[in-house]
Amino acid sequence: MDPKIRFQLRKLVRELGKHRARHTELITVYIPAGYDINKVNAQLSSEQGTARNIKSSSTRKNVTDALEKMRRELKVYKQTPPNGLILFSGNVSGQEGVSDVQVWSMEPPIPLKTRLYRCDQSFFLEPLKEMTVSTAAYGLIVLDRREANIAWLKGKTIVPIKSFTSLVPGKTRAGGQSAARFQRVRENLAKDFFKKIAVAADKEFANKPDLKGVIVGGPGPTKENVIRNQFTEAVKKKIIGTVDIGYTGTAGLDELVNKASDILSQEEIIQEKKAVTRFFDLLSTKPSFTAYGKDEVERALTSGAIDTLLISESYDDNEIERLSEKTEQTGGKWVLISNETREGKQLEQFGGIAAVLRFSIS
């Protein structure tokens, strides 16, 4: 999903999530792709008839008004859109005795499978929330003879799963052992260690249909030998790339994702890393071609100088929308940066907002 569309979805979820009624009078309707929209209209008409029996006059009015607004909104559509349709309606005034019945409708960016009608004290947002979460998932394995780690890359987040420490001794022989015997001991222990990693990788990645691929990192010959001699065919088929790296542990997983940028080039996490890295490179070499903090960025926007705006997901939604629109109007691009990644935490230290400039404004 386009990051901009995901942002708009998250913004809508947060907006709708703020509303809570005193009674069950907020209505949610999910219409799946391919469903007959006339059947939904008929159901809403039936619900209007039922709502007339509500004892509380204010609740009765709010529910019937919400259903009426929803039915009018449905008339805009001759048939259900290709991905389905989602509607929300209800009194959102928040003040006792005051009515402010609003209606929202949206065509989801991916095909909707949920069919639902609900009248409650809050809008039902779970299916919409699921759409805002990136479903892209990769398996990550980093290993050498001393240590290994298995993790998932889910959206923008590295999720460590398992870590292993080997019993393989260093190259210095214990007293009394011949070189040949000591080498055999080392090789057997290494084989057992790599076998343990392969079993764990098979359990974690072999039968996961949503897995987009596995990336393996480590010293050149070591990882290639392990893949060839230890990994199951099911895991081998899922490997989409190998990367030479010098670390294991958390640092190794991060290095693996960074060095696998060509493999992951379409994923949001890589786009974010590239944007933030470019900003910090320029900050150290050509600082006049950067801006950070609200005041500096606003000045750069007014001058039409922004090439790429970097803005943290933790920033105010309305400000994100305003600043991103203004950036696009002046020919710039913008990238929303997760506050869960290392790069996102770096950006937070600069006020959560920064920019790469086309020309100096200093």
Average pLDDT over residues 231-252: 93
Beta bridge partners of 164: 148
Asked if the model's pLDDT at residue 145 lies above 90, the reply is no
Same domain, residue pair 38 and 125: yes
- Name the more confident of 306 and 269: 306
Instruction: Say what the pTM is.
Output: 0.67
CB proximity list for 358: less than 8 A, separation 6 or greater: 305, 306, 307, 332
Asked if the model's pLDDT at residue 5 lies above 90, the reply is no
CB proximity list for 96: less than 8 A, separation 6 or greater: 22
Count of alpha carbons within 13 angstroms of residue 316, beta-carbon side: 5
Domain region containing 239: 137-259
Q: Which two tokens stand for residue 223?
A: 């990882």
Same domain, residue pair 123 and 199: no
* Nearest to 97, CA basis, from 126, 58, 67: 58
- 231 in Cβ contact with 205 (< 8 Å): no
Q: Is residue 362 part of a domain?
A: no
User: For the chain, how many helices (H) and strands (E)?
Assistant: 12, 13
Asked if the model's pLDDT at residue 168 lies above 70, the reply is no
6-34 pLDDT per residue, tens: 889 999 999 999 999 989 999 999 999 99
Last residue of a domain, one of 131, 147, 168: 131
**pLDDT at residue 344, as a whole number:** 87
Question: Residue 111: which CATH number?
Answer: 3.30.960.10
Rounded to the nearest angstrom, the gap between the alpha carbon of residue 98 and the centroid of all alpha carbons in its chain is 38
- Overall domain count for the chain: 3
With b for 16 or more beta-carbon neighbours within 10 A and e for fewer, the 242-263 pattern comes to bbebebbeeebbbbbbbbbbeb
Last residue of a domain, one of 236, 259, 282: 259
In total, the chain counts a number of residues equal to 362
Task: Quote the strand ranges of 9-146, DSSP E.
Answer: 26-31, 85-91, 101-106, 116-120, 137-143
Average pLDDT over residues 67-78: 94
Asked if the model's pLDDT at residue 156 lies above 90, the reply is no
Same domain, residue pair 166 and 124: no
Same domain, residue pair 167 and 235: yes
- When pLDDT is cut at 50, 70 and 90, the band that residue 176 belongs to is low
293-337 pLDDT per residue, tens: 999 999 999 999 999 999 998 899 999 999 999 999 999 999 999
**pLDDT at residue 155, as a whole number:** 78
Question: Residue 320: which CATH number?
Answer: 3.30.1330.30
Beta bridge partners of 106: 86
Q: Is residue 41 part of a domain?
A: yes
Last residue of a domain, one of 204, 239, 259: 259
**pLDDT at residue 217, as a whole number:** 95
Report the distance separating Cα 202 and Cα 224, nearest Å: 17
- When pLDDT is cut at 50, 70 and 90, the band that residue 172 belongs to is low
101-143 pLDDT per residue, tens: 999 999 999 899 999 999 999 999 999 998 887 667 899 999 9
Average pLDDT over residues 41-46: 95
Same domain, residue pair 168 and 248: yes
